[in-house]
Chains A and B, each alone.
Chain A
Amino acid sequence: MAALNAPAAALDRVTLRYGLRPVLKGVSLSFRQGEVVGLIGPGGGGKSQLLKVLSTLRTPWEGTVTLFNRRVDAWHRHGIVDVRANIGLQFQNFALFDSLDVWDNVAFSLVAGRKLARETASPEVGRALEEVGLAPFAHSLPSELSGGMRRRVAIARVVAARPALALFDDPVAGLDPVNSARIMALIGSFARSTGATTVVATHDIPRLLPICTRLVALFDGKVLYDGPAAEVDSCESEIVRRFVESAREGTR
């Protein structure tokens, strides 16, 4: 029973440093299976680093990280490839493979990672490209696309893989309002249809709130708010209330 109710991901007093500079300071969070969590905060607050810790790309100096009931922090890296196979991360800077076209980039985790045949992966890839509006550009190289289009390819790469833990780092930065709404709606429907535990880090709070049930506010590496998205306006932290209010005003 404990295993059934176990969180998909849990961080306990995690501290991460870049050189001597701490970017995460004693962060403790847990993410239930199927939950959609919004991650907000000012630039440089540690959101991207938190997502990288959750994706096992960064190892914290202190604290423990548990993913799918398995510890994956500094001294527990055995079997980490199996853990990573269940995680999808959309990078803030896209991290698309320059030498592969859009189709191959989106299919990469299925073909190169899970060893599926291209024909088997084709329906999932095609669907993901349709959903982000890039099907006509399937054979374009990343260098031939705009920044916004590359971001949508990175999102499609996660969506096509259908991971158990999906992490989106700034999915709508640089997108026009129409595509921003489309992408946020896609993330919401993806989370509902797959039951994936989904964490979305973004500054677009008005579009984030409708799709997430819980909000985490990260300021200077510390969690200042962790609770229902609907109650963020009345939270105890004045910094968080002012930040959310400013973000709403900025997008009006």
Chain B
Amino acid sequence: MSRILGDMATALGHYVLGMIDAAGAMTLTFWRTLRSLMPPRFDRDETWRQLHKVGVTSLPIVAMTALLVGVIMVIQSAVYVRKTGATSFVGAVSGVAVLSELGPSLIALMFSGRVGANTAAELGTMVVSEQVDALRALAIDPVKFIVVPRFIAIVASLVLLTIIGDMFGLIGGAMTSQWMLEIDSVAFTKALLATGLLDDLFVGLIKAFAFGVVISTTSTTFGLNVSGGARGVGQAVNGCVVATALGIFTCDYAITYLWYLWVM
């Protein structure tokens, strides 16, 4: 019994130390990224390449995700709307949910699965094939050349994609309202605008910005700290996906609660 407890304590200790280690590494990565941004010292060509790679190519999947979120929101609320006749609230509910919560968080989760995992794998492969060492040997700071362009690209892309995704989400909601609840788009839009639309959009974009910081910092940290060859790359990708999701939900909670305190 005591041996089992000892093993459990050891495993818990390893886990906690691992989390502290990861948190420390992410803090250092974030700090070095900020230092390279003020004043800006990073590779501009690489930044444009990353903007295209993570932003432009993610547009179709983000638009699809957001469209489905908008549709699902209305379908989910349709039963209650029909029962209560509260058709005038559909636009408002869709607007609040899509703009301030579901849009940013689900788009960020889809984005992290696509871009975050890819970034961790790419950087991890660069580490095990000594390409990062080659950068250092050529007197090039890997943070300025690899991390900062990806940080800018991921944060900027996620904010812009969230704006575009919100539009698709609202369009999806409006179309579904018309189809399922016979609420025309004018009524939907009036209800939407009657809420604090700009407030919801604003908090949603703050979340998108924060989620972008989480995704880029986590994915680049896990990628650059790979060890142990191909197996290590796989573990890094796995760890990155989990850590990013946790980070997104934690940020979401913090911003939502702070916004609540601000508004109230």
Query: What is A's interface to B at a CB cutoff of 8 Å?
Result: 52, 55-57, 81-82, 84-85, 87-89, 91, 93, 95-98, 108-109, 112-113, 161
The answer to whether A95 and B134 have CB atoms under 8 Å apart is: yes
The answer to whether A85 and B137 have CB atoms under 8 Å apart is: no
Min CB gap A24→B, angstroms: 17
Given contacts A93-B129, A95-B133, contact A84 B141 (CB under 8 A): no
Q: Which residue of B lies closest to A108 (CB)?
A: B138
Interface check B89, CB cutoff 8 A: no
Given contacts A95-B129, A95-B130, contact A55 B145 (CB under 8 A): no
Given contacts A81-B139, A95-B134, contact A112 B129 (CB under 8 A): no
Complex CA–CA separation, A85 to B134 (angstroms): 12
The answer to whether A84 and B137 have CB atoms under 8 Å apart is: yes
5 tightest Cβ-Cβ pairs between the two chains A and B: A95-B134, A84-B139, A95-B130, A85-B139, A109-B138
Interface check B131, CB cutoff 8 A: yes
| Cβ-defined partner of A91 (8 Å) among B133, B139, B140, B145 | B133
User: Which has the most chain A C-beta neighbours within 10 Å: B133, B137, B140?
Assistant: B137
Interface check B43, CB cutoff 8 A: yes
Given contacts A112-B43, A112-B145, contact A57 B131 (CB under 8 A): no
Complex CA–CA separation, A169 to B145 (angstroms): 25
Query: What is B's interface to A at a CB cutoff of 8 Å?
Result: 43, 125-126, 129-131, 133-134, 136-141, 145
When distances are taken between beta carbons in the complex, the residues of chain B under 8 Å from A96 are 131, 134
Given contacts A97-B131, A98-B131, contact A89 B145 (CB under 8 A): no
Complex CA–CA separation, A56 to B125 (angstroms): 22
| Cβ-defined partner of A113 (8 Å) among B125, B130, B139 | B139
| Cβ-defined partner of B140 (8 Å) among A52, A55, A56, A112 | A112
Complex CA–CA separation, A193 to B144 (angstroms): 34
Q: Which residue of A lies closest to B137 (CB)?
A: A89
When distances are taken between beta carbons in the complex, the residues of chain B under 8 Å from A89 are 134, 137
Min CB gap A131→B, angstroms: 20
Q: Which residue of B lies closest to A109 (CB)?
A: B138
Min CB gap A74→B, angstroms: 16
| Cβ-defined partner of B137 (8 Å) among A55, A82, A112 | A55
Min CB gap A171→B, angstroms: 15
Apart from A82-B139, A95-B129, list 6 A-B contacts with CB within 8 A: A57-B133, A81-B141, A89-B137, A98-B125, A109-B139, A113-B138
Min CB gap A115→B, angstroms: 11
When distances are taken between beta carbons in the complex, the residues of chain A under 8 Å from B139 are 81-82, 84-85, 109, 113
Min CB gap A112→B, angstroms: 6
The answer to whether A95 and B131 have CB atoms under 8 Å apart is: yes
The answer to whether A97 and B141 have CB atoms under 8 Å apart is: no
Min CB gap A47→B, angstroms: 16
Complex CA–CA separation, A108 to B126 (angstroms): 16
Complex CA–CA separation, A158 to B136 (angstroms): 14
| Cβ-defined partner of A84 (8 Å) among B125, B126, B138, B145 | B138
When distances are taken between beta carbons in the complex, the residues of chain A under 8 Å from B140 are 112-113
Min CB gap A106→B, angstroms: 12
